[in-house]
Chain A
Amino acid sequence: MYSKIMVPVDLAHAGRLDKALQTAADLANHYNAEAVYVGVTATTPSTVAHTPQEFKAKLNSFAADEAGKHGHKASGHMIIANDPTIDVDNALMRAVGEIGADLVVMASHVPNLADYVWPSNGGQVASHSKASVFIVRAG
């Protein structure tokens, strides 16, 4: 039913993603689909990497680790955003098209007051993306 599952990941906070990563891997194994781990970065050095090149390498090795752990097909896909705080929603939406993903599995926090002002990334992607979106609540 699904052949490419896009999994947005924040490498700086990968520890918070366990539930979403497990869900994505289970679905990938179940449908024999490829999981594409998408990371958004600016070109400036960040907590994760000093250069986009290094970021890409880390993302790829993150995907390889996941594949090793869960036994599914996996790859990494880096997206550059000049202003990631704001551009991350658009970047993820673009990535859906670039990858040709038919399912997005992403972690999202439990909605709170702030979501009325600026909706969560997961909410934005679910509202605007053509692919199916599986929002995994933290906790």
Chain B
Amino acid sequence: MTDQTAGPEIPTPEGDVALIETDYKIGQDNVEGSVGPFGFDVHNPVFLVSGLAVVAFVIYALALPEQANAVFGWLRPFLTSTFDWFFLGAANIFVIFCLLLIISPWGSVRLGGKEATPDYSYIGWFSMLFAAGMGIGLMFFGVLEPVYHMAISQPLGVPSPIAADGTIIQENVEAARAMGLAATAYHWALHPWAIYAVVALALALFTFNKGLPLTIRSAFYPIFGDRVWGWTGHIIDILAVFATLFGLATSLGFGAQQANAGLEYIYGVPNNVTVQVILIAAITGVALISVLRGLDGGVKVLSEINMGIAALLLLFVLLAGPTVTILSDFVSGIGTYATELLALSNPVGREDTGYSQGWTAFYWAWWISWSPFVGMFIARVSRGRTVREFLICVLLIPSLVCVLWMAVFGGVAIDQVLSDPVASAVKANVIDSYSPELSLFAMLEGLPLAAITSTIGIILVIVFFVTSSDSGSLVIDTISAGGKVNAPVPQRIFWCTFEGAVAIVLLVGGGLGALQAMVISTGLLFTIVLLLMCFAIFRGLVHERKEAK
């Protein structure tokens, strides 16, 4: 029998990997069949329970809106203010864990076996990393956060340079400016990416090197053994599907409101539910086309286009704004970030609770509740990288890009606020009144060609939602199919449409805020899950190296 010559798309032989021996057969709990002409292949309890739970919570939020708002509206701030030390401490552990792995001998373990080659080029890979998990946040918070931390939240007690009567207090300017950027960088650099990296590394390791299905429960095999194939694992996967679907649907609902606010601000488009429902339908429609074109033909292409446009916008703002000031802000912001990182990330005895609980703990809960989705997506596209390369690329490079983005968008906005406070639209929309969805457009208004750049801004916001929605649908589909990536097409259509439908129902009926608060509350549970994952990664890597020897 002859073996055919491998084509360019076939990686070289994978080399030995230390597979985990288990009797579990991928897909053994799946139910295959068809509804009319549409085929399906789903993991029995996970698909059904998570789908029904989503419907049940939507009905609850619609039937008892006041109660839902009261419960979850109370729960989220309660958790972030009571467990702030836990969120901050855990995030520090994730960063330290990742940095230690980079310099440890385990860093040389290659995901997918010793001789595996990467499935994606760096550009495709980076684009997908950003587009899945963070793009939309960069658009929303790029202007808002640096300005807010500079002027209002006073991280580490650094006083605001803006007096109550709106005048500038010159002696506070320099420190507040640097702290505005540093405090923002803290939320967008090492820590969030370490959270994503832990989940992604765990899943990639247990999938590509250990041969377990691509689903969240696999990372817990070293801890629970074969019990992960039973209800212990079902619950982990159901929670992940639940958090991902609600996270995406509520973001989609809010995103439509933001895009609508932007459209009203720039073009006078009426700001009402009808326009927002049309926006959600359009975003879902494009996401649907993207998932139907697949990972390579849809999701990757869209991510690359989006990153290209975002890079052009970044370059434009950098050049059209006060370039030298921005670059010096970038440097001093990074300097302040480096010197104040320990103080900013200190989990106990904080006095700046407006910042550390209101922003940091909230962010950590948010990133962590999104981590099953983003982490799993990153895992899927990261095969062929070594652990060291993976961590450097997922942790350090995106961190630098995020800090640069914040320095440019936030730097220009801060400059506008401080150099001409009376005329600054950013000051009017962020400091004097709080309209976060307008902050980006307010900043662009102060630069040339605002009509064009604002339109590009809106397009970017919308397309980033599409790239979150399509990658999210793929992830949910894979988890609810027990880790199978080749489930029938109608299934991914179902999840993508379901997500849009949930967003529309919540938008029309109310309940977006309550359910988003609930999703963020799942962050507490997932923080424990992530800490266990660190331990599992460690066990997995030790096993891998031992077997390799």
CA distance A75 to B3 in the complex (A): 6
Q: A112 touching B489 by the CB < 8 A rule?
A: no
Interface flags for A42-82 (1: CB within 8 Å of B; 0: not) read: 11111100111110100010011001000000111111101
**Contact partners of B37 in chain A: CB under 8 A:** 112-115
Residue of B at shortest CB range from A67?
B1
Q: Please judge, given known A-B contacts A44-B214, A86-B294, whether A77 and B484 are in contact too, CB under 8 Å.
A: no
Give min CB distance, B399 to chain A, whole Å: 26
The reply to whether B25 and A98 contact each other, CB–CB distance below 8 Å, is no
Residues 17-55 of A contacting B (Cβ, < 8 Å): 36, 42-47, 50-54
A99 / chain B contacts, CB cutoff of 8 Å: 4
Task: Report how far A98 CA is from B37 CA in the complex, Å.
Answer: 33
* Cα–Cα, bound, A113→B39 (Å): 12
- Knowing A43-B119, A78-B10, A114-B38, the reply to whether A86 touches B292 (Cβ < 8 A) is yes
Pair B11/A44 contact, Cβ less than 8 Å: no
Contact B11 A52 (CB under 8 A): yes
Shortest beta-carbon distance from B54 to chain A in Å: 23
Once the chains are docked, how many angstroms separate the CA of A45 from the CA of B212?
6
B residues 206-232 touching A (CB-CB < 8 Å): 207-208, 211-214
Residue of B37, B113, B120, B213 most packed against chain A (CB within 10 A): B37
Contact code string B479-511 (vs A, CB < 8 Å = 1, else 0): 000011111111010000000000000000000
A47 with B484: in contact, given A53-B113, A83-B294, A118-B489 (CB under 8 Å)? yes
Q: Most B CB atoms within 10 A — which of A44, A77, A114?
A: A44
B489: contacting residue among A12, A53, A76, A85, CB under 8 A? A85
Interface pair B119/A85, CB less than 8 Å apart: no
Interfacial residues of chain B within 459-494, with CB under 8 A of chain A in the complex: 474, 483-490, 492
CB distance from A29 to the nearest CB of B (A): 16
Are the CB atoms of B26 and A47 closer together than 8 Å? Answer: yes
Contact of B294 among A56, A85, A113 (CB under 8 A): A85
8 Å CB contact of A43 from B5, B208, B483, B492: B208
Determine if A76 and B113 form an interchain contact, defined as CB atoms under 8 angstroms apart: no
Contact of B296 among A12, A56, A87 (CB under 8 A): A87
Known contacts A46-B484, A60-B1, A85-B294; A80 and B489 CB within 8 A of each other? no
- Tell me, yes or no, whether B14 is within 8 Å of chain A by CB: yes
User: When chains A and B are docked, how far (Å) is the Cα of A51 from the Cα of B116?
Assistant: 11
CB of B105 closer than 8 Å to a CB of A? no
Query: A75: which B residues are within 8 A, CB to CB?
Result: 1-4
**Chain A positions within 8 Å of B485 at CB level:** 42, 44, 46, 83-85
Contact across chains for A51 and B113 when beta carbons are under 8 A apart: yes
Any chain B CB within 8 A of the CB of A94? yes
Q: How far is the CA of A114 from the CA of B34 in the complex (A)?
A: 11
Which residues of B lie under 8 Å from residue A78 when comparing CB positions? 10
**Residues of B13-53 whose CB lies within 8 A of A:** 13-14, 17, 19, 25-27, 36-39
Residues of B within 8 A of A52 (CB): 10-11, 14
Segment 353-405 of B: residues with Cβ below 8 Å from A: 380-381, 383
**A76 close to B213 (CB less than 8 A):** no
Q: In whole angstroms, what is the CA distance A82 to B380 when docked?
A: 9
- Which B-chain residue is minimally distant from A52 (CB atoms)? B14
Interface membership of chain A positions 95-128, coded 1 if the CB is closer than 8 angstroms to chain B and 0 otherwise: 0001100000000000011110010000000000
Residue of A nearest to B299 (CB): A83
Residues of A contacting B116 in the complex (Cβ-Cβ under 8 angstroms):
43
Contacts beyond the supplied A47-B484, A87-B296: 20 A-B pairs with Cβ under 8 Å: A44-B207, A44-B483, A45-B212, A47-B25, A51-B113, A52-B10, A53-B13, A54-B211, A56-B3, A60-B1, A60-B3, A79-B9, A82-B120, A84-B486, A85-B294, A85-B488, A86-B292, A112-B37, A114-B37, A114-B39
Instruction: List chain B positions with a Cβ less than 8 A from chain A.
Output: 1-5, 7, 9-11, 13-14, 17, 19, 25-27, 36-39, 112-113, 116, 119-120, 207-208, 211-214, 292-298, 380-381, 383, 474, 483-490, 492
A-B pairs, top 10 by smallest CB distance, nearest first, are A50-B211, A86-B294, A83-B295, A114-B37, A83-B294, A47-B27, A112-B37, A77-B4, A84-B486, A113-B37
16 A-B pairs with CB atoms under 8 Å apart are A42-B485, A44-B207, A44-B208, A50-B19, A51-B14, A60-B3, A67-B1, A75-B3, A76-B3, A82-B295, A85-B294, A85-B492, A99-B4, A114-B36, A115-B37, A118-B292
